[in-house]
Amino acid sequence: MTRVDEIGIGGLGASRRRVEDARFIRGCGNYTDDIKLPGMLHMEVLRSPVAHARIKSIDTSAAWAIPGVRLVLTGEMAAQRNLAWMPTLSYDTQAVLATDKVRFQGQEVACVVADDPYTAKDGCEAIVVEYEQLPAIVNPTQALAPDAPLIRDDKEGQTDNVCYRWEVGDKAGTDRAFARADKVTRLKLHYPRSHPSPIECCGSIANYDPATGKLTVYMTSQAPHIIRAAVALVAELPEHLIRIVSPDIGGGFGNKVPVYPGYVCSILCSILLGKPVKWTEDKSGNLISTGFARDMYFDGELALREDGRILALRFHADTDQGAFFSDAQPSKFKIGLVHSAFACYDIPVGHITARGAYTNKAPGGVAYRCSFRVTEAMFFQERIIAAAAADLGMDPAEFRRVNLVRDDQFPYRTPFGFLTDSGQYRRCLDLGLDAIGYEDFLKDKEEARLRGRRLGIGISTMTEPLGAGNSREYDILGIKMFDSAELRVHPTGKAILRTGAKSQGQGHETTWAQIVSHELGIPAADVVVEEGDTDTAPFGMGTYASRSTPVAGAAVSMVSRKIRAKARKLAAHLLEVSEEDVEWELGRFFVRSAPNRGVTIQECAMAAYGNMPDGLEPGLENNAYYDPPNLTWPFACYLVIVEVDPETGVWDVLRVVAVDDCGVRINPMIVEGQITGGLTEAYAMSNMQFMTFDAEGNCVGSNYLDYLLPTAWETPGFELHEVVTPCPHHPIGAKGVGECAAVGGPAAFVNAVLDALSDTGVRNIDMPLLPDRVWEAITTGRDVSGAPPVKT
C-alpha cells in the first residue's frame, strides 16, 4: 500500500498555487460591475461638495426633464419609506440621503437612476441644492471645544459632539504603580486617517422582482449574511425572499464591511422601479465617503523600573469618528479591541480611557487591516516601547526581551482580561535580530554617523487578537459570532465546500480545499469552494478581523471530520468488519488486523450513494457551525533599517526582516503573500499615504496624486521568516494572519526613522513621514504633528 502523500495532494502545508488566480490573472473574474441583468438601469449618487451645511432646498426638476432619467431620489422621498436614516452596526444612526443637513464632504444627497451611467451623472449635475454653510469641524479638539457647533442635532438628547466614552482597567492600581515608578515615559501621537482603497470600489446591483417578491442583490460585501439580516431587519423585507450574492471581490481590506447608503439606495430604487438598478462607486466617491480607518489620538504613559521592567501602563485615546458612528465592529466595546494593546508584554496593571468625537468627516472608523482598532493599539504600543527604551538608555531589543511574556506563562491573562493562548515571543525576536545582523548593524550605524550618514533601526513586536468571536463576547445586531461550513462529497469522491466566510483576495478557494484534503485525503484539486451566496452558503458572519481561518477554517475541519465519521461506517460495511476494527490513515480506512485490506475515501463516497448498509442514510454531506473558544493570538516581529537624508528628509529602506508565527500554516505561500501585502501597506502608511482635511472640511487626499498607492518600484524587498506555535484550541492549530503585517509593520518603519534621528531630541513625527515632516523635525529638533486641519 502506498500512503497518500499529503503535500502531493495539496493538503496542509502545501504551497499550492492559488486556484482563483487562473481566472483573476486572465481578466476573467466575475466582479459586481461585470454583471449585467436584462433591463438593468444605472444609479449615480450626488454628493455634498461642502462639509457642514444646512440644506435649504433641493430642486430636482431639471434632472427629471433629462431624457433617459427614470428616477430622482431625495432624502424626502426616502423618508416616506422610513429609509432616510438607517441604523449603523455601532448602534448609531446614519443618513442614507441627507434631509436636514450635510455633515461631511462627499455625503450622499440624492441619486438619479437612468438608462445609462452617463445620463445618470448628467442628472446629478442638473440637481440644484441650496446650502447654508456651517463651520466645519475636522478634529476632536475642535469637536469637544465648549462652543463647538453641534453636528448631530438630529439626535434627541445629544448636546455635544461626544459619541461615546469608554474605559477599562484598574485606575487605582495603575496610579499606585505609577507612584512607585523610577521613571515615566510619555508619548503623544496621532495615527492619521487612512483609507483601504481597494482596486475595486464598492457597488451593488439590486434586482427586486415584483412578480415573485424576491429581492436579489449582487454586491461588494465581505459579509453577505449580515447584509441579508440587516436588510430584513431595517427594510422589513421577508428574509427568505432576500438573496445577497457577493461575487468576486477586488480587494476589501475592511472597506467592504459596512452598509453604505449607495447599497440601500440601489435597493430602494429597484423596489420603486421594479427593475434591476446598478450602482458603481467611482474612485473619488470611494476615497471621500466610504469606511476609512484610524484617525486616532493617543496620549499615554509607561511606568518603568530602573532595571527595565514595565510596572504599569495608561493611556487616553480620542477617536475621530466622522459624522456618524458607523464602526463595523462586533464587540460590545465602544472602541473595538484597543485594549489588546501591550498583550505581548507582562505588565501587571493598566488603565485606558477613550472618547469618540463626531466631526464633519466621512464615517467609518474601522477598516484597512485593523482587527477593530488593534492596528492603532499596536502602533502606539510599539512607539512608546521604543521611547521607553530610549528614556532608560536601554537597548530596545533587550528592553523587549525583559518584558515579553515568557513561553511558560501561557495561557496568559492580560490586565484587560484577554487570554493569550500560546507563543514563543523571545524566539521570534531573537530570530529576527539574528537575521538582520543586529550587533553588526549597531557598529555600522556608529561608523556611518561619523561620516555624517544617518542610519536607524526600528523594531516592532506584537501579538494581536484575530478571529472574532466567540459568541459569548461578540455579536453583530444581536447575531452571535460563529461561522460555518457545508461539505458535499459526490459519488465519485469529488466535493463542493461552502462556508459563511467571503474571500476578497485572500485565497479561500485554495486554502479551504487544503483543509479538506488534510482531514479526508481527497486531493485539493477535487474540492471546489464556493462562498458569498446567501441562498446556498451556510449562515456565517463573513470575512474581517482575519477571522476566516480561526472560525470558518475551523468549521471546515469539523465538517470534514463529520464526513469521515460517516465514511467510517461505510468502510466497515464494505470491509465487512465492525466499525471498531477500522483504522484511518490519510485517504483510506483499513482493517486493524489486516492493514492491506482497505478502502479509499472515494470508495466510501461511492458506497454512500450505491452500497450503503441497511439503516444508514444515503449521501455523504454535512455541515458544521463553529463557535471558537477564544480568539487566536499570532505573534510577529518586524525589523526595519533605514537611512535618512538630513538634507532633504527623504528616507530609504535598506532592510526589512519579518518573523511571523501564525501557528500552523495551511498554505505557506499564501501566508507569505499576506505578509508581503501587509508590509507593503505598512510601508505606504508610514511613508506616503496622506489623507487629511483643511479647515473647511475639504478632504485632501481624495485622489491618487495625494493619496499614493505603493507600486513595486517604491516598495522595498522583505525577508520573511517563520516560527510555528500551534494554536492550542484550533482544530488544526492555525491562527489568523491576514492583518498581522499591516498591524505591526508601521511602527517598525517609524521607529527606524526616529532611531536615525535619536540625537536630535525628536520623539515623534506623525505618519506619513513625508520628507518635509522629517526635514522639519531635523532642522527644528521638535516633534511634528500631522493633526488636521492642514494649510492649503
Q: Does 308 bind ligand MCN (CB under 6 A)?
A: no
Residues 214 to 253: which contact ligand MCN by CB under 6 A?
251-253
Tell me the closest approach of the beta carbon of residue 297 to ligand MCN, in angstroms. 23
Tell me the closest approach of the beta carbon of residue 271 to ligand MCN, in angstroms. 30
Residue 744 CA to residue 765 CA, distance in Å, equals: 18
Cβ–Cβ under 8 Å, residues 317 and 296: yes
Nearer Cβ to ligand MCN, position 139 or 197? 197
Residue 346 CA to residue 115 CA, distance in Å, equals: 62
77, 366, 582, 682: which one contacts ligand CUM (CB under 6 A)?
Answer: 366
- CA torsion sign for 191, 361, 677, 225 is positive
Residue 704 CA to residue 287 CA, distance in Å, equals: 9
Active site residue 133: no
Residue 676 CA to residue 410 CA, distance in Å, equals: 29
Count of Cβ atoms closer than 10 Å to residue 717 Cβ: 9
Among ligand CUM, ligand MCN, none, partner that 251 touches (CB below 5 to 8 angstroms by kind): ligand MCN
Q: Does 670 bind ligand MCN (CB under 6 A)?
A: yes
Nearer Cβ to ligand CUM, position 545 or 577? 545
Residue 396, preceding peptide bond in cis (omega within 30° of 0):
no
- CA 666 to chain centroid: 20
**Secondary structure of the chain: what % helix, strand, coil (to 5)?**
30, 30, 40
Active site residue 506: no
58, 293, 734, 787: which one contacts ligand MCN (CB under 6 A)?
Answer: 734
Nearer Cβ to ligand MCN, position 359 or 511? 511
What is residue 695's three-state secondary structure?
A: coil
Active site residue 222: yes
Residues 89 to 128: which contact ligand CUM by CB under 6 A?
none
Tell me the closest approach of the beta carbon of residue 166 to ligand CUM, in angstroms. 18
Q: Does 667 bind ligand MCN (CB under 6 A)?
A: yes
Among ligand MCN, ligand CUM, none, partner that 138 touches (CB below 5 to 8 angstroms by kind): none
Q: Does 549 bind ligand MCN (CB under 6 A)?
A: yes
Nearer Cβ to ligand MCN, position 9 or 242? 9
Tell me the closest approach of the beta carbon of residue 702 to ligand MCN, in angstroms. 21
Q: Does 511 bind ligand MCN (CB under 6 A)?
A: yes
Residue 161 CA to residue 20 CA, distance in Å, equals: 46
104, 292, 298, 368: which one contacts ligand CUM (CB under 6 A)?
Answer: 368
Nearer Cβ to ligand CUM, position 42 or 339? 339
195, 225, 547, 588: which one contacts ligand MCN (CB under 6 A)?
Answer: 547
Nearer Cβ to ligand CUM, position 151 or 367? 367
Residue 297 CA to residue 657 CA, distance in Å, equals: 28
- Sheet-wide strand order for 128-133: 101-102, 53-59, 128-133
Q: Does 253 bind ligand CUM (CB under 6 A)?
A: yes
254, 300, 432, 550: which one contacts ligand CUM (CB under 6 A)?
Answer: 254
Q: Does 371 bind ligand CUM (CB under 6 A)?
A: yes
Using a 10 angstrom Cβ sphere, with 0-12 exposed, 13-18 middle and 19 or more buried, the burial of residue 102 is buried
Number of residues near ligand CUM (by CB under 6 A): 13
Tell me the closest approach of the beta carbon of residue 367 to ligand CUM, in angstroms. 5
Residue 431 CA to residue 725 CA, distance in Å, equals: 14
- CA torsion sign for 362, 367, 370, 372 is positive
Tell me the closest approach of the beta carbon of residue 661 to ligand MCN, in angstroms. 10
The catalytically annotated residue of 70, 739, 740, 763 is 739
Tell me the closest approach of the beta carbon of residue 420 to ligand CUM, in angstroms. 19
Among ligand MCN, ligand CUM, none, partner that 350 touches (CB below 5 to 8 angstroms by kind): none
Q: Does 743 bind ligand CUM (CB under 6 A)?
A: no
Residue 469, preceding peptide bond in cis (omega within 30° of 0):
yes
Tell me the closest approach of the beta carbon of residue 498 to ligand CUM, in angstroms. 20
Q: Does 367 bind ligand CUM (CB under 6 A)?
A: yes
Nearer Cβ to ligand CUM, position 222 or 702? 222
Compute the half-sphere exposure of residue 310: CA atoms within 13 Å on the CB side of its CA: 33
Residue with cell 511634528: 784
* Stretch of 233-241, 252-260, 442-450, 655-663 contacting ligand CUM, by CB under 6 A: 252-260
The catalytically annotated residue of 222, 329, 506, 674 is 222
Q: Does 774 bind ligand CUM (CB under 6 A)?
A: no
- CA 390 to chain centroid: 32
52, 228, 334, 369: which one contacts ligand MCN (CB under 6 A)?
Answer: 369
What is residue 654's three-state secondary structure?
A: strand
Count of Cβ atoms closer than 10 Å to residue 516 Cβ: 27
Nearer Cβ to ligand MCN, position 99 or 503? 503
Among ligand CUM, ligand MCN, none, partner that 257 touches (CB below 5 to 8 angstroms by kind): ligand CUM
- Sheet-wide strand order for 651-661: 454-463, 635-644, 651-661, 719-722
What is residue 152's three-state secondary structure?
A: coil
CA distances (Å), 703 to each of 176, 284, 537, in order?
49, 6, 37
What is residue 719's three-state secondary structure?
A: strand
Residue 60 CA to residue 771 CA, distance in Å, equals: 47
Tell me the closest approach of the beta carbon of residue 370 to ligand CUM, in angstroms. 3
The catalytically annotated residue of 163, 201, 344, 370 is 370
Active site residue 564: no
Tell me the closest approach of the beta carbon of residue 31 to ligand MCN, in angstroms. 13
Q: Does 63 bind ligand MCN (CB under 6 A)?
A: no
Count of Cβ atoms closer than 10 Å to residue 791 Cβ: 5
Phi and psi based region of residue 342 (left: phi greater than 0; alpha: psi -120 to 50; beta: remaining): left
Number of residues near ligand MCN (by CB under 6 A): 34
Tell me the closest approach of the beta carbon of residue 255 to ligand CUM, in angstroms. 8
The maximal CA–CA distance of the chain, rounded, in angstroms, is: 87
Cell triple for 34: 461585470
Strand 108-114 and strand 101-102: the pairing is unpaired
Count of Cβ atoms closer than 10 Å to residue 350 Cβ: 27
Cβ–Cβ under 8 Å, residues 367 and 331: no
Count of Cβ atoms closer than 10 Å to residue 285 Cβ: 21
Residues 527 to 546: which contact ligand CUM by CB under 6 A?
544-545
Cβ–Cβ under 8 Å, residues 632 and 735: yes
Q: x/- string (CB under 6 A) for ligand CUM, residues 256-295?
A: -x--------------------------------------
- Name the residue type at position 261: P
Which residues lie near ligand MCN (CB under 6 A)?
A: 251-254, 369, 504-508, 511, 543-549, 662-667, 670-671, 674, 677, 734-739
Catalytic residues: 222, 369-370, 739
The residue ranges that bind ligand CUM (CB under 6 A) are: 222, 252-254, 257, 366-371, 544-545
